Amino acid sequence: MTQAELIAAILEYLNEARIRTTYGVVAKILGVNPRSVGQLLGERRPEASWVVNTKTKDPTDYTEDEKHPDLYRTDRIITSAEVIKRNINLP
């Protein structure tokens, strides 16, 4: 699976589950530095806003219009790459 396909699969899962995860978790799955995840996600948009900063629990530098309307429906945030890998059937 390419990096772009992995990102698409992660975002599809997060959007379907309506749950946030951290930049660090996505970075671990992709094998990159957490600081590069925002750039890899592409333009700021609701579908990508599920990936958040560990401390603020918000997507970095997103305006309210760029955040998904359900972003705060739960306090739960996935903090383990293994959870996402299992749920999108990665080894």
Query: What's the predicted TM-score (pTM) here?
Result: 0.95
Q: Kindly report, residue by residue over 27-47, the tens digit of the pLDDT.
A: 999 999 999 999 999 999 999
DSSP for 18-87 reads T-EEEHHHHHHHHTS-GGGHHHHH-S--GGGTTEE-TTT-S-TT--GGGS-TTTTS-S-EE--HHHHHHH
Question: What is residue 91's predicted lDDT score, i.e. its pLDDT?
Answer: 82
Give the residue extent of every domain in the chain: 3-87
Question: What is residue 11's predicted lDDT score, i.e. its pLDDT?
Answer: 98
Residues of the chain with pLDDT under 50: none
